[in-house]
Amino acid sequence: MLAHSRIVSRKLYNLNTIRCFSHLPLSVPIKLPNGLEYEQPTGLFINNKFVPSKQHKTFEVINPSTEEEICHVYEGREDDVETAVQAASNAFENGSWATIDPFIRGQCLHKLADLIEKDKEIVASIESLDNGKSIQNARGDVQLVINYLKSTAGIADKIDGQLINSGSNYFNYTKREPLGVCGQIIPWNFPLLMWAWKIAPALVTGNTVVMKTAEATPLSALYVSQFIPKAGIPPGVFNIVSGFGKIVGEAITTHPNIKKVAFTGSTKTGIHIYRSAATTLKKVTLELGGKSPNIVFGDANLKNAVQNIMTGIYFNSGEVCCAGSRVYVQDTVYDQLIEEIRAAAENVKVGDPFNENTFQGAQTSQMQLTKILEYVDIGKKEGATLVTGGERIGNKGYFVRPTIFSDVREDMRIVKEEIFGPVVTISKFSTIDEVVKMANDSEYGLAAGIHTSNINTAVKVADRLKAGTVWINTYNDFHPCVPFGGFNASGLGREMSMEALNGYLQVKGVRAKLYD
């Protein structure tokens, strides 16, 4: 989703920043800012155990709110990917997971959700520490993780084939079978939620997994992975190789024994993965970038619309692939609404993620902070009006004021290009045809919002928008039974719901001739 494993790290990482610790422990004690204490796994997770990388290299993990080091974790290389793929292949071939009663797979996923739920405050705190998002946003993510694992567990035994009638002389049927070893590459903006969105459909359908977490935010996925064996999932079924995209991501994408790659991240990286995976004809699903329109009609409940605009762009510090970063307001309420949006943005609490009143925490990296501020300068030079925000807060931590631009043209870069931060543009429209044309004038097609009290308007406009998800009188409102994914440059395939399972299954047709 909520994108992006942009294969960047907290600082301007390159491979020279990696250190070698021959005796780095496989877990380290960490005291969280809210006083909670826990043991953070630091190893790769292979065959249900945390292990050091073969070359014993590590990389640092930075707290984006303080710019201080949290810890180091082991950094995998190609040989570690090979070990993980072998473990996953063995687990798939021995039938300990792929051929068992699907109901048992569902029970394991449900148990995994229960284990996370019992520890959810620590899990949310790790996510907030590592990513920089507010604790209230992190708690929401963890609840979505629990809900999705339980929802997917409930459909484990409902993956059916069909009988095909071709006359009395034949018995025909189809089976939907797992693919085998699946590679998964997840992003830094929703580290734990994307962990769940990826592993749940892969595991419930009987596949095994080798995953690369984002190098900027590996901690929460490593922590919850300790629950995998406790949930009854056999060794080798799920594996994590922490590391960098150019090494671990590339090794996963091109490995001949990996049958499918799932990636959430930037469109540019997604295209590269799509091309690389083609060399071994892998199945591919991609959840990529977005520049989503959020449309407000004059008859909308304006109070609710303003709140949904705030959620649409400032939730998760704006680091959301489906963020409603282009707001279109009908001319009859434009002047009123732009003032209300400005006031609401200036009242957004930005700062310490562990402050219970904070809504917008830190940006996840120095690189992302720099990119956002560069786009603010671009918007000013293009002639847009800076209504509010557009500056860094303080000198420590990657904090940005919620930012609004008005008086924009549709050809401006701040309107066309994904900024991936708390920056929104506001445009005026008069008619349905006008706003539909503007909303669809994008290479992306991930999501859209419509705010109106007229159900006829809502349905007709939703039908005309080129977006994989359309929210009506709400925004960034996810449910495990509703599919999520994009049109056009926003990707291929879907997350969540029964639709997500199709990316991890292949269909076998069986035709038997019957004799008298």
Query: By CB neighbour count within 10 A (0-12 exposed, 13-18 middle, 19+ buried), where does 65 fall?
Result: buried
Q: Which residues contact 39 (CB under 8 A, 6 or more apart)?
A: 27, 28, 29, 30
Please state, in angstroms and rounded to a whole number, the distance separating the CA atoms of residues 103 and 157.
5
Strand-strand pairing, 68-74 and 238-240: unpaired
Question: Which residues, 6+ apart, have CB-to-CB distance to 374 below 8 Å?
Answer: none
For the chain, the 3-state helix, strand and coil shares in percent, each to the nearest 5, are: 40, 25, 40
Residue in 287, 319, 418, 495 annotated catalytic: 287
Question: Tell me, what amino acid is at 236?
Answer: G
Strand duo 37-41 + 27-31: pairing: antiparallel
> Peptide bond before 4: cis, by omega within 30 degrees of 0?
yes
Nearest to 290 by CA among 449, 462, 477: 449
Query: What residues contact 381, with CB distance under 8 A and at least 6 apart?
Result: none
Token pair 């992302």: residue: 368
DSSP letters for 466-505: --SEEEES-SS---TTS-B--SGGGEES-BSHHHHHHTTE
Q: Does 287 qualify as catalytic in the annotation?
A: yes
Collapsed DSSP state (helix, strand, coil) of residue 448? strand
Residue pointed to by tokens 């994008």:
442
Residue 242's alpha-carbon distances to 5, 27, 90, 352, 427, in angstroms, are 13, 14, 21, 27, 42
Active site residues: 287
